[in-house]
Amino acid sequence: MDLNKALENILPQNRIKGRLIDRYAFASDAGSYYMVPQVVVQPDTIEEIKSLFAFSSDNKIPMTFRAAGTSLCGQGVTDGMLVDLSRHWRHIVVEDGGFRLRVEPAVIGGHANLILKRFGRKIGPDPASINAAMMGGILSNNSSGMCCGVHHNSYHTVSAVKFVLPNGMVFSTENKEDYTRFQKEAKDISDGLLTLRNEILQNDDLIQKIRRKYRQKTLQDTVSTHSLIMKIHLIYSPIC
């Protein structure tokens, strides 16, 4: 199969990077791991993301999402299809007088802080790579940083997330009706999550272990990685 040609049914040619020089240029992120993708694609709509998921499944080509690629842990490299979100997905809107910021995954963390500075606010996480790391990776990696500890890390400052599942379904935790829709339309996933939750709730030792682990900081807290999240809506802590 001519991979590049097949993908032209989903994306315009200028957003499909299949030349060897392009594949090598995108092969590495900030870490020490190196894998050459079969192709690099740059979608800019959720519909294109859904089509890429279907293409990946039909052709058995794994997909890896990358925003800034500042991760040190190898999550942003692949020998399959690399989905580069960094060229698009940069929309940002301030809400509630700076108490909320609606962003897409390619918004750089430092840029978000510049926007919020006029309101005397900043985002909660402050990873060392904040002037390069993008919000998709900051969120998916649960980034924190030296100053925010774990109290203002990504997980604790997220208000809502809009996400796309590999089967093409789109949900937003901002919409209450999507909770019921998720239980009905993604029943296997919903039931699986509820089963895991119930197993955890019945094991006090496991509950305490999880609580203890989430009070600890790791290398993962200070770097960002790729993400399949299309749009995120975060609540931020005030500037100290």
Amino acid 223: pLDDT: 38
| DSSP reduced 3-state for 136 | helix
pLDDT band at 217 (very low <50, low <70, confident <90, very high): low
Q: What is the pLDDT of residues 95-138, one digit of tens each?
A: 999 999 999 999 999 999 999 999 999 998 988 899 999 999 99
Q: Give the whole-angstrom CA distance, residue 155 versus residue 18.
A: 36
| DSSP reduced 3-state for 128 | coil
Distances 91 to 47, 73, 101 between C-alpha atoms, Å: 17, 27, 10
- Is residue 226 predicted with pLDDT exceeding 50? no
Question: What is the percent of the chain where pLDDT is above 70?
Answer: 90
pLDDT band at 238 (very low <50, low <70, confident <90, very high): very low
Amino acid 71: pLDDT: 84
Domain ranges of the chain: 3-84, 102-235
What's the chain's average pLDDT? 88
Q: Give the whole-angstrom CA distance, residue 216 versus residue 224.
A: 17
Distance of CA 149 to the CA centre of its chain: 21
Q: What is the pLDDT of residues 46-59, one digit of tens each?
A: 999 999 999 999 99
Strands (E), the chain: 16-17, 39-41, 63-66, 81-84, 92-95, 100-103, 158-164, 170-172, 231-235
Asked which of 4-8, 72-76, 130-134, 219-223 is least confident by mean pLDDT, the reply is 219-223
CATH architecture of the domain covering 102-235: 2-Layer Sandwich (3.30)
- Is residue 36 predicted with pLDDT exceeding 50? yes
Amino acid 160: pLDDT: 92
Q: Give the whole-angstrom CA distance, residue 179 versus residue 193.
A: 13
- Is residue 230 predicted with pLDDT exceeding 80? no
Name residue 113's beta-bridge partners: none
Q: Which residue has the higher pLDDT, 203 or 224?
A: 203
- Is residue 218 predicted with pLDDT exceeding 80? no
- Over residues 71-96, the mean pLDDT reads 93
pTM of the full structure = 0.84
pLDDT band at 206 (very low <50, low <70, confident <90, very high): very high
Distances 139 to 2, 5, 48, 51, 155 between C-alpha atoms, Å: 35, 34, 22, 24, 7
For the beta carbon of residue 80, count every other beta carbon within 10 angstroms. 16
Amino acid 234: pLDDT: 45
Return all residues near 183 (Cβ < 8 A) that are at least 6 apart. Answer: 190
Residue whose pair of structure tokens reads 């299949």 in the numeric block: 18
Name residue 238's beta-bridge partners: 121
Of 80, 53, 50, 83, which Cα lies nearest the Cα of 66?
83
In CATH, the number for domain 3-84 is 3.30.43.10
Q: What is the pLDDT of residues 145-190, one digit of tens each?
A: 877 677 788 888 889 999 999 999 999 999 999 999 999 999 999 9
Of 115, 114, 110, which Cα lies nearest the Cα of 125?
110
pLDDT band at 231 (very low <50, low <70, confident <90, very high): very low
